[in-house]
Structure 1
């Protein structure tokens, strides 16, 4: 009779007790497998998104043209300084002409230059992130995939700023004393 009860609870590749508990609590192993699958799928999606495509001649030509404004602005500024020293009267006439430019036109020029350099900064930032993702994707190849210790992901490592991570990892007596004094000040304020 007891054997029949145990067979009915645990037999036929079933575990009624486990199945009942899983209604209220997640199976940790299955949850870890699902989380691993989710992370793997996200990494595969990122790898596909940041896949390096071959750049054509037109793209390289436009990149070359896009690199011209900064050096041209720098050399033009140096040329203005040199022209002011060589022929001050010629330079003064040109500066008088600049005084006649209406203020809204200066604002428009500022917006155009800001958008140009902002877009360039964003493009360079995305290129940097793409190269960083490629390097991280190659990391298991370099360190050996047979590592038995779990690796902390780059997202988890970057969750805290570096300074905050350092403070969290080390004991700082001065910081603790400051925190205690702030707590006492707060308690004193509440009493008053």
Structure 2
């Protein structure tokens, strides 16, 4: 009996599990691997959320955002006004277009570059804001999953009463008690 006890203590006792430790040399512990993966993913999401965090904006920044919103509607309304002017007073419109035909081609290229840079920069800024919002959303995922788990635990029905073969209890339950 002492040999078996010593062998079992060697393999499983003394606060250690030699068999598990030996297996873990050749195969990763899945639970600990999942914990490390979760910690790594949480750290990456936290870093991404911190990188894209929106700074506090002052009055000047909000004013400039308003000014930056003016060119696109102004271009659209200007083009629509040109159509209205062409229909309302074709001679006046033709005189204005004749004046535009005298603008040298390099100035048209310069206008195209300025407009392209403006809308390209705006597109890039909106893309970065979108990435920031995605990072912020992903950073909230662990908390939401925790809330969903807690709600799911509340939904689980209580364990049912064990079945009984007591005829008197069955009659009493049939009577509606």
| TM-score calculated relative to the size of structure 1 | 0.63
The residue aligned with 2:81 is 79
What is the CA distance between 1:108 and its match in structure 2? 3.3
| TM-score calculated relative to the size of structure 2 | 0.67
Deviates more, 1:125-134 or 1:34-43: 125-134
The residue aligned with 1:48 is 50
What is the CA distance between 1:64 and its match in structure 2? 0.8
Number of aligned residue pairs: give it: 150
CA distance in 1, matches of 2:51, 2:115: 30
1:8-63 deviation line (CA, Å, top 9, x unaligned): 23332222222222122111010011011112212322332343432101100110
Question: Per the alignment, in what secondary structure is the counterpart of residue 147 of structure 2?
Answer: coil
- Asked if structure 1 preserves the Cα contact closer than 8 Å seen for 2:11 and 2:18, the reply is yes
- Where structure 1 has 5 or more consecutive residues not aligned to the other structure, the ranges are 151-192
What is the CA distance between 1:72 and its match in structure 2? 1.1
- Where structure 2 has 5 or more consecutive residues not aligned to the other structure, the ranges are 153-177
Q: 1:99 aligns with which of 91, 98, 101?
A: 101
What is the CA distance between 1:142 and its match in structure 2? 6.9
The residue aligned with 1:15 is 17
Per chain length, whose mean CA-contact separation is higher, i.e. which structure has more relative contact order (CA < 8 Å, sep 6+)? 2
Deviates more, 1:139-148 or 1:34-43: 139-148
